[in-house]
């Protein structure tokens, strides 16, 4: 058995956990994808056309594109974050605590490290599907034109890994579903509003700007938006490293907390 | 391999409170071993330690020849577990539950598919492959959990209160299946607080109280060694008074619980006691041989454990 603080171990058994979740998802795939698409699309069209019509057709502060095109790339990131968070929080908690699915799996020759790795990869995969669905819609609407946009797909997966890992930390600490409201109110909602999804971070007062631009969603937006607009992102290495470190460090912390909770 | 599972000197504390205080036992191949104890006696913690899901504070555990927890995962390849609370996958059909569980052992879907008819037949669920979990009764879910525990053809089955919450029909069916598994040569470790279950199934059992084994042996021997052979139960408003004022010399030991007096007596004391009680028409009596429950209550006390 692992010590509480041991580095994460990975084995092929994590795939069996991933496949278990995939099989559940497949049964509800169509309503799940449509449900994940509806909310961001309402934001995109409502704000994109409604608010966007008050703005000039091309604004320098938005990188010279219309507001709806600017918003579309932000929506991809925000909805990837949401999908990863919901899966790691509500679905993860349900499998860990309510349905005792993990308990059943741990009686088989599967270690807790494998269970958590499977959950992590699954939540990121599901988030990628969610981000991809939106990318397809906005591509169909003509908001994406460059093949550089394909590079956004692995970045969306990395964004999913970061938020899935952060979500798993909260799940490991949660006494009940109600606990997640704090995480949404104190962390996720501020990020959606401050990290450049709806307006450029540069519009914020400088003190707020310096905080906002360090948050994980800001790094994701800095990488994904230029790619969807057909440019290489500035400081790509820095933002990539920030997301990667968030993903790995948060996953390790989530694993330590989950070991402490379940392997008493 | 001389033993399927051996536990020696197991200790485990949670938050400064020791819940398992030096438990030792050994399971021989083909044996059904029972761990009996009131709630909180340390049964489930002992099982968790045996599976390597909880690291003991001290003690040595060997499961199917592997040291636990060091190589618990390898050992679990040949172990099946029926947990205390059902944790089947509610989103899956009966067959999907088995197929997905088989994957955790590295068993191919094709192989599990081949085994499913036999497993369902054994569990009395033949033809239910595609049934949704919500349509199964509590007894059927329990049997499916048992089938799931057999998906890897284990050498050892760990059953944590396998029949709690089931009706008598469902319990008897589970017992019959467990006996069949024993005939096939499987080894079983069972926790229960049903004495009839333990008496019927277990070759050997240990009574656990407050983290210690207070008695162990074959059920008949435990009864012979720990308690008077005959019991006369006396019911009625005056039972307690009778026990206090006149009963004591007529029995080896009397326990009073509410309006019932339990007289533990030697065989030759039965007739004189019953004759004497004939003089108290307000008291009702029941004479029976002593059983495991009497031993259990004597050793662990009558007060509630929550």
pLDDT digits (tens, 9 = 90+) for A138-175: 999 999 889 999 999 999 999 999 999 999 999 999 99
Q: Do A23 and B96 touch (CB under 8 A)?
A: yes
**Mean local confidence (pLDDT), B257-271:** 93
The answer, for A30 touching chain B at a CB cutoff of 8 Å, is no
CB neighbours of B34 closer than 8 A, spacing ≥ 6? B190, B191, B192, B197, B198, B201, B202, B204, B205, B206
Model pLDDT, residue B305: 67
Residue B304 to residue B306: CA distance in whole angstroms: 6
Tell me whether A260 touches chain B (CB under 8 Å). Answer: no
Point out the residue among A1, A27, A104 whose CB comes nearest to the CB of B52.
A1
Give CA angle at B268 (B263, B271), nearest 5°: 70
pLDDT at A1: 42
What number is the average pLDDT over the span B205-227?
94
Pick from B155, B299, B121, B137: which is nearest to B223 by CA?
A: B299
Confidence of residue B1 (pLDDT cuts 50, 70, 90): low
Cβ proximity of B267 and B230 under 8 Å: yes
Amino acid A34: pLDDT: 86
Contact at CB, A104 and B88, closer than 8 angstroms: yes
Q: What is the mean pLDDT of residues B104-117?
A: 97
Query: Between B51, B90, B103, which is nearest A107 by CB?
Result: B51
* pLDDT, chain B, mean: 93
The pLDDT, as a whole number, for residue B194 is: 87
CB A29 within 8 A of CB A133: no
Segment B198-208 shows an average pLDDT of 94
Q: Could you say which residues of chain A have pLDDT below 50?
A: 1-2
On whether any CB of chain B is under 8 Å from the CB of A109, the answer is yes
pLDDT band with cut points at 50, 70 and 90 for residue B248: confident
Domain coordinates in residue numbering, chain A: 30-262
Q: How far is B44 from chain A (nearest CA, A)?
A: 12
pLDDT at position A29: 87
What is the set of domains in chain B, with CATH numbers?
5-216 (3.40.50.300), 228-289 (3.30.70)
User: Tens digit of pLDDT for each residue in B25-49?
Assistant: 999 999 999 999 888 899 999 999 9
Contacts of A20 in chain B (CB under 8 A): 89, 100, 103
Mean pLDDT of B150-172: 93
Instruction: Work out the minimum CA distance from B81 to partner chain A, whole angstroms.
Output: 6
Q: How far apart are CA A71 and CA A46, in angstroms?
A: 11
Mean pLDDT value of segment B123-146: 95
Shortest CA distance from A96: residue in chain B: B87
């Amino acid at each position: 058995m692992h010590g509480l603080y041991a580095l994460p171990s990975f084995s092929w058994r994590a795939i069996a956990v991933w496949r278990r979740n995939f099989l559940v998802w497949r049964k509800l795939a169509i309503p799940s994808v449509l449900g994940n698409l509806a909310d961001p699309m309402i934001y995109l069209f409502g704000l994109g056309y409604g608010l966007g019509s008050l703005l000039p057709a091309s604004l320098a502060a938005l990188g010279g594109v219309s507001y709806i095109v600017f918003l579309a790339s932000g929506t991809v990131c925000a909805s990837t974050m949401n999908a990863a968070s919901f899966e790691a929080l509500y679905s993860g908690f349900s499998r860990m605590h309510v349905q005792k699915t993990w308990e059943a799996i741990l009686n088989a020759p599967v270690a807790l490290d494998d269970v958590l790795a499977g959950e992590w990869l699954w939540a990121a995969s599901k988030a990628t599907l969610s981000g991809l669905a939106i990318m397809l819609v906005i591509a169909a609407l003509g908001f994406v034109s460059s093949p550089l946009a394909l590079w956004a797909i692995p970045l969306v997966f990395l964004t999913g890994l970061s938020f899935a890992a952060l979500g798993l930390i909260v799940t490991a600490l949660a006494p009940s579903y109600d606990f997640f409201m704090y995480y949404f109110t104190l962390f996720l909602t501020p990020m959606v509003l401050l990290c450049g999804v709806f307006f450029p971070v540069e519009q914020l007062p400088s003190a707020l700007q310096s905080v906002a631009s360090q948050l994980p969603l800001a790094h994701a937006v800095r990488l994904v938006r230029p790619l969807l607009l057909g440019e290489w992102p500035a400081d790509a290495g820095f933002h990539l490293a920030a997301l990667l470190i968030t993903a790995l460090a948060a996953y390790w912390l989530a694993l330590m907390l989950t070991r402490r909770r379940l392997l008493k | 391999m001389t033993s399927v599972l051996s536990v020696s000197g197991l200790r485990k504390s949670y938050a400064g409170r020791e819940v398992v205080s030096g438990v030792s036992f050994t399971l021989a191949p083909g044996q059904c071993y029972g761990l009996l104890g009131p709630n909180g006696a340390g049964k489930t913690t002992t099982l968790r330690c045996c599976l390597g899901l909880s690291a003991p504070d001290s003690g040595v555990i060997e499961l199917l020849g592997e040291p636990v927890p060091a190589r618990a995962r390898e050992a679990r390849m040949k172990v099946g577990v029926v947990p205390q609370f059902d944790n089947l996958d509610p989103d899956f059909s009966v067959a999907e539950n088995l197929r997905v569980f088989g994957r955790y052992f590295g068993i191919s879907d094709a192989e599990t598919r081949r085994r499913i008819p036999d497993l369902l037949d054994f569990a009395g669920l033949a033809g239910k492959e595609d049934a949704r979990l919500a349509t199964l009764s509590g007894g059927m879910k329990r049997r499916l959990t048992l089938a799931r525990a057999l998906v890897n053809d284990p050498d050892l089955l760990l059953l944590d209160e396998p029949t709690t919450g089931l009706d008598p029909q469902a319990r008897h069916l589970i017992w019959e299946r467990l006996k069949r598994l024993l005939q096939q040569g499987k080894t079983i470790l069972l926790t229960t607080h049903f004495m009839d279950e333990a008496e019927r199934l277990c070759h050997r059992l240990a009574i656990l109280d407050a983290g210690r084994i207070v008695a162990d042996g074959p059920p008949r021997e435990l009864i012979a060694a720990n308690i008077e052979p005959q019991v006369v139960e006396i019911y009625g408003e005056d039972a307690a008074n009778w026990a206090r004022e006149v009963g004591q010399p007529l029995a080896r030991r009397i326990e009073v619980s509410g309006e019932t007096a339990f007289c533990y007596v030697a065989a030759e004391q039965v007739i004189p006691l019953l004759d004497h009680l004939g003089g108290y028409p307000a008291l009702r009596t029941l004479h029976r041989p002593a059983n495991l429950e009497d031993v259990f209550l004597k050793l662990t006390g009558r007060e509630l454990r929550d």
